[in-house]
Structure 1
Amino acid sequence: MDDVMRKLWIRGTGKLKEVKGQGTTEYAILVGVLVVIAIIAVVAFRGKLQELWDGISQGINGL
């Protein structure tokens, strides 16, 4: 009976490790997608961001 329980325990803990690794992979993919979206947004709004940055720097220099 102990042998059967031991095999079930090993199988169960093995499945938990797979799920944990899968979650980490999903988070890595999510972070990668967010980085790509951020890069696309910066490239798409480059002109407006430059205007905003120039306005902020002029305001700080005017102090």
Structure 2
Amino acid sequence: MKNELHIAAGSNQVVTIKLHSDEVINGVAEVSTDPERAKVRTTKGPVWIPYKDIENIHRIAQILH
């Protein structure tokens, strides 16, 4: 899971994160300096998400022509 977010942050990819509470967060993954939480830039600003709360992560890759 952390690896997926690290890859997404390095590629400036959009992620969709589903939490155990069924909440869904969409945004751009950013490098987190906190070993316990992921950082995602949403339209409302940065959000810090505890890794233990994450159920699933989807990365959205852009295909350039």
Q: Same fold (TM over 0.5)?
A: no
Q: Normalising by structure 2, report the TM-score.
A: 0.19
Q: Normalising by structure 1, report the TM-score.
A: 0.19
Query: Radius of gyration: which is bigger?
Result: 1
Which structure is higher in helix share? 1
Which structure is higher in strand share? 2
